[in-house]
Structure 1
Amino acid sequence: MKRACAVVLALGLVLPTAGVALADSPSPDALPGVTQQRRDSGGKPAGCLPPSTRSTALTPWPQTFLRPERAWPLSRGEGVTVAVVGSGVTDGAGLLAGRLDHAPRLQGAGDPAQDCVGHGTFLAGLIAADHRDGTGFAGLAPRARILAVSVTDEGGGSSPDLLARGITAAADAGARVIAVGVALPSGNDALAASVRSARAKGALVVAPAGPDATAGNGKLPPAYPAAYPEVLSVRDLTPGGTLPEGTLSGRVDLTAPGDAVMGPGPAAGGYYTGAGPSFATAFVAATAALTLGYHPTLTPDQLTRRLEATAYRTGDPAYGYGTVDPVAAVTRLTAPDPTPPPPST
């Protein structure tokens, strides 16, 4: 089993949007990666992600950056099911009440309703969590439906075969968007076939262009399933709108906020922050759900072209077609074929 790695911190202060000075604050408490089971100094399992007691009334910077509320009068993702393919989803905080389904448990994977490591729950919250009084946090598509598909063991490990079965299960269940939360260093024929089949069944597959722990790791090889041409491959942005350290050698189609991202854990309580391409993947998947909520007849190819054509272009090939723009993706009456990004050097 390979592991996808991510960094999660107990929430201290939410970083504001780019261009705003950061207030002085104590460093948040560090927790293990959200796709890794907590382990003691001897390497033995140390239990599940504990509840966070930290919260804030501030609006997280990704929401300020992406401005989903400007699209909400037209769409909040109603009628769209987004599959979160990862460590499962446990809605202890009730932010997905009435809009959460769990796929049948796959052989070799954990219970999709028991997210011990917290990663799948975090991603599901970024996509579709309700707003609650006393906090500025909400999912980008807060009326979308979530289908939790577990493709990891209790420690967060996965494999190409297991991930392939999860993508197939999501497509068979009718998900219009499949947000993959793991990035594997290799694929296989089964995984490639599952992606092609999901696309043929009308599902857009969105996946991280690399593992979540990229800073300081030099040039990283392509990640799977994002390396397959049928998958929308996503890279993460910092609060300053720049790419984090670490070079991804795989294809990048879109970018989205992915650093100092705030989201819920599996237990009721406060929030956590995390960093990496998997969190950016959730924002792109949520944008796809918003778009389908207003343009429900779009095919996966048409949806892909719309997301790419309405992205904010930077001219830098490392950003692919640019940064996803939920408002433009929903409100543009027509979206031309996207201009190809400049060639990578």
Structure 2
Amino acid sequence: MGSRAIGLRAGHRRRATGALVTAACIVGLSTAAAAPAVADDNTPLQSGECKFGTDDIKETPWSLQRLLTNQMWASGQGEGIRVAVIDTGIDAGNKQLQDAIEGPGKSYVSGKPTQDRVGHGTKVAGIIAARRVASSGFYGIAPKAKVIPFQQTSDEKAGTADTLAKAIDDAVAAKVDVINISQGTAASEDRLPTLKAAVKRAQDSNILIVASAGNSGASGEEKNIYPAAFSEEFDNVLAVAASDRNNERAPFSQAGSFVGIAAPGVDMVSTVPLGGNCVDQGTSFSAPYATGAAALLIAKHRHDKQAWGPQQIIWHLEQTADRVRRGRDNNIGWGVVNPVAALNDDTRPLAPPVPDKPSGVADGSNILPAVATLGETTEERRARIALYIVGGGLLAVAAVVGSSVALRDWRRKTGLTPHGEAKHG
């Protein structure tokens, strides 16, 4: 068999394995069989395939161009914050993550937490805490935070709701500040008692969980994806949808009443195993964007006299989000997370977010139609008359001055004095 054919077969196997595992990361985690969900679709980059050990992307991605980092990082870059990444592992072979990983982590499958054969968890971790390097325009939202890998899915075995619950409990025991979960299941809540209990224990320990809303929203059907949908029951869960460049819901993003906020989720650049950057899309990468913002907030306010708990962090991110509409909706929640606005506002929230005040003309009800006038309007007529008056006055003055000059010249020529007497020289 030729080398080209062998390469093609290897590429097909990699894509098939990646799609299978990514699908498991997004939806289908349960002890019972669940319908597979739409996986994150790779956006073509360079050769058209997202490869491990690839080149860095020098351009700054759009999701970071929207940020004023000098303001966002004015009070720090997430120093001292520890984020649990429950995913496919975090690969230590990427130079942008080597200093970010706090090991050794933990694995619930046959694998090593700091090796990622799928790439999903490495991308998630990069969006949170990738370090800045000269060769790449990409960096994490909180580039001095630490990420801890809890590997509960691998290229050979997908996780379940029970292993996800175990990972949450272990992250709580490790006393992390935030847990990022870019995974979920569409199974009904009554089939997830173990997972629900773990989320409750995280709430009792005052630990924030940021979870992706899921990628099965193309049909427009609204449904719950867990653990994100636990946000309607527990005050420590933030459910994150995916937004596009226009701050609207990405077509694949799952809509529902549980969605609290949105974050960029299309054409997302991040780190990949063995080094380099590539592009991907999905709510899997929206959640860590919000997690990074939460990490910065926690770092800034952790020593305040009145501590900011998970509920205050969630309320503040929702209240300071960029809104397309006045209030919340099931597509993007309260709007698209704005880390800069969140960090610039030090007001500790005391209540849930509220809709923006109406502008008075937003719906067009206070806009009066203009009166249609045929011919000259009143204002135009007044302006014309005023012009005539001023013009006439100027002409009169000019006539008087001209007459005076002409009379003077005539008198000089005839030798008449002002009294009518002739002068003889």
Instruction: Sort the TM-score into its range (normalised by shorter chain).
Output: 0.7 to 0.9
Per the TM alignment, residue 98 of structure 1 is displaced from its structure 2 partner at its CA by 3.3
Q: CA, structure 1 residues 252+109, in 2 after alignment: closer, same or farther (shift >3 Å)?
A: farther
Does the aligned pair in 2 maintain the 1:108–1:162 contact within 8 Å?
A: no
| Secondary structure of 1:272 counterpart | strand
Does the aligned pair in 2 maintain the 1:171–1:198 contact within 8 Å?
A: yes
Does the aligned pair in 1 maintain the 2:116–2:154 contact within 8 Å?
A: no
Counterpart mapping for 1:278-289 below 5 A: 278-289=284-295
Q: Give the structure 1 partner of residue 346 of structure 2.
A: 333
1:246-292 deviation digits (Å, cap 9, x = unpaired): 45235210101000000010112x31111111100010000000111
Does the aligned pair in 2 maintain the 1:87–1:110 contact within 8 Å?
A: no
Identify, as 1 or 2, the structure richer in helix.
Answer: 2
Q: Give the structure 2 partner of residue 309 of structure 1.
A: 319
> RCO (CA 8 Å, sep 6+): is it higher in 1 or 2?
1
**Which stretches of structure 1, 4 residues or longer, exceed 6 Å deviation after superposition?**
none
Counterpart mapping for 1:60-139 below 5 A: 60-102=61-103, 104-108=105-109, 110-139=111-140
Residue 265 of structure 2 aligns to which amino acid in structure 1?
G
What residue ranges of structure 1 are gaps of 5+ in the alignment? 13-27, 32-48
Residue 194 of structure 2, aligned match among 190, 196, 204: 190
TM-score after normalising by structure 1: 0.82
TM-score after normalising by structure 2: 0.67
What is the aligned-residue identity percentage? 30
Q: Which segment drifts farther, 327-336 or 221-230? A: 327-336
What residue ranges of structure 2 are gaps of 5+ in the alignment? 1-20, 27-38, 357-425
Question: Aligned partners of 2:88, 2:157: CA distance in 1, in Å?
Answer: 6
For the pair 1:267 / 2:281, whether they are aligned, the reply is no
Q: In the comparison of the two structures, how many residue pairs are matched?
A: 306
Q: CA, structure 1 residues 205+170, in 2 after alignment: closer, same or farther (shift >3 Å)?
A: same
Per the TM alignment, residue 196 of structure 1 is displaced from its structure 2 partner at its CA by 1.2
Question: Aligned partners of 2:206, 2:158: CA distance in 1, in Å?
Answer: 28
1:181-220 deviation digits (Å, cap 9, x = unpaired): 2122225011011111112212100001113xx4644425
Per the TM alignment, residue 331 of structure 1 is displaced from its structure 2 partner at its CA by 2.1
For the pair 1:202 / 2:206, whether they are aligned, the reply is yes
Structure number with bigger Rg: 2
Residue 339 of structure 1 aligns to which amino acid in structure 2?
P
Q: CA, structure 1 residues 220+6, in 2 after alignment: closer, same or farther (shift >3 Å)?
A: farther
Per the TM alignment, residue 71 of structure 1 is displaced from its structure 2 partner at its CA by 1.3
Counterpart mapping for 1:1-345 below 5 A: 3=24, 4=26, 5-9=39-43, 11-12=45-46, 29-31=48-50, 50-53=52-55, 55-102=56-103, 104-108=105-109, 110-155=111-156, 157-186=158-187, 188-211=192-215, 214=216, 216-219=218-221, 221-229=223-231, 230=234, 231-246=237-252, 248-249=255-256, 251-268=258-275, 270-296=276-302, 297-315=307-325, 317=329, 318-336=331-349, 337-340=351-354
Does the aligned pair in 1 maintain the 2:248–2:332 contact within 8 Å?
A: no
Question: Aligned partners of 1:339, 1:202: CA distance in 2, in Å?
Answer: 20
Question: Aligned partners of 1:184, 1:66: CA distance in 2, in Å?
Answer: 32
Residue 29 of structure 1 aligns to which amino acid in structure 2?
G
1:148-168 deviation digits (Å, cap 9, x = unpaired): 111113246221101111111
Residue 140 of structure 1 aligns to which amino acid in structure 2?
I
Q: CA, structure 1 residues 66+256, in 2 after alignment: closer, same or farther (shift >3 Å)?
A: farther
Residue 313 of structure 2 aligns to which amino acid in structure 1?
L
Per the TM alignment, residue 100 of structure 1 is displaced from its structure 2 partner at its CA by 1.1
| Secondary structure of 1:240 counterpart | coil
Q: Which segment drifts farther, 309-318 or 3-12? A: 3-12
Question: Aligned partners of 2:123, 2:70: CA distance in 1, in Å?
Answer: 20
Q: Which segment drifts farther, 314-323 or 166-175? A: 314-323
Does the aligned pair in 2 maintain the 1:320–1:341 contact within 8 Å?
A: no
Per the TM alignment, residue 140 of structure 1 is displaced from its structure 2 partner at its CA by 0.6
Does the aligned pair in 2 maintain the 1:117–1:156 contact within 8 Å?
A: no
